[in-house]
Amino acid sequence: MALSRLLLLCMVASEVWDAETKPIDFVCNRTARRVMNIVAEMERALSDCNGVVTLSTPVQLPCTELHVASWENKSYQERRGDIVASLRLLIEGVKIMRALSQPECGASLLQRLENNINNYLIILTNLQLSGPVVGPSLSCLPLRSQSLSTVLLRYNQLISGKLEKFMVNLEDRCTNQ
Ligand SMILES: *[C@@H]1O[C@H](CO)[C@@H](O)[C@H](O)[C@H]1NC(C)=O
Ligand SMILES: *[C@@H]1O[C@H](CO)[C@@H](O)[C@H](O)[C@H]1NC(C)=O
């Protein structure tokens, strides 16, 4: 029941989807989640863009440190709130980078990165979770960086750490399908 509601919401969200991964697969298909992680590809592509490798202004980094005991102590709502707050920091950072980047080189790549982060945000904010609603809340005092590779590294840590762990927790929902 919970899963079919999730799938319905995901289909609504897919209208803004950039076709790399169907949201319907996100919780139940680890391969689809791996495909949606475009960080390695971004690292390669952006290494050719000197103008965006070092940012002229620092951007905030997400909270990626995962203390297993305290993470597992959080409700699902809190876990989502933690990840969503970090994704929002990242997307703000990418918007700043995009505004400052040279149009010839990094702009379309940064747009793709922004869409990618936004897709994660859409999926997470549309997930049906039980328990009292918890809004986005950062679990650290965010550090800042002027290095695009640091930003991408932290993005990857967020996706393959907290987010992946959270999705694995939710996979129970898939077994009854
Ligand atoms: C899982 O996702 C991958 C990549 O998108 C796809 O090729 C595969 O068919 C999916 N598997 C299932 C069971 O839907
Ligand atoms: C888990 O939550 C309880 C109640 O909020 C708290 O007392 C405890 O210290 C927490 N444990 C960890 C490891 O954060």
Distance (Å, whole) CA 43 – CA 38: 9
The architecture CATH gives domain 22-170: Up-down Bundle (1.20)
**How confident is the prediction for the chain on average, in pLDDT?**
83
Q: Is any ligand 2 atom within 6 A of the Cβ of residue 1?
A: no
Nearest to 87 by CA among 166, 170, 24: 166
Bridge partners for 102 per DSSP: none
Eight-class DSSP state of 163: I
Q: 99 Cβ partners below 8 Å, 6+ apart?
A: none
pLDDT digits (tens, 9 = 90+) for 145-160: 998 889 999 999 999 9
Backbone angles phi, psi at 168, to 5 degrees: -60, -40
The per-residue pLDDT for 37 is 94
User: In the structure, what pLDDT confidence band is assigned to residue 176 with cuts at 50, 70 and 90?
Assistant: low
Nearest to 64 by CA among 25, 94, 101, 90: 90
pLDDT digits (tens, 9 = 90+) for 75-87: 999 999 999 999 9
User: Of 25, 26, 175, which is best to mutate to test ligand 1, by the most ligand atoms within 8 angstroms of its C-beta?
Assistant: 25
Protein residue whose Cα sits closest to atom 2 of ligand 2:
73
Is residue 18's pLDDT more than 60?
no
Burial label for 172, CB within 10 Å (0-12, 13-18, 19+), is exposed
End-to-end alpha carbon distance in the chain: 9
Between these two residues, 126 and 91, which has the higher pLDDT value? 91
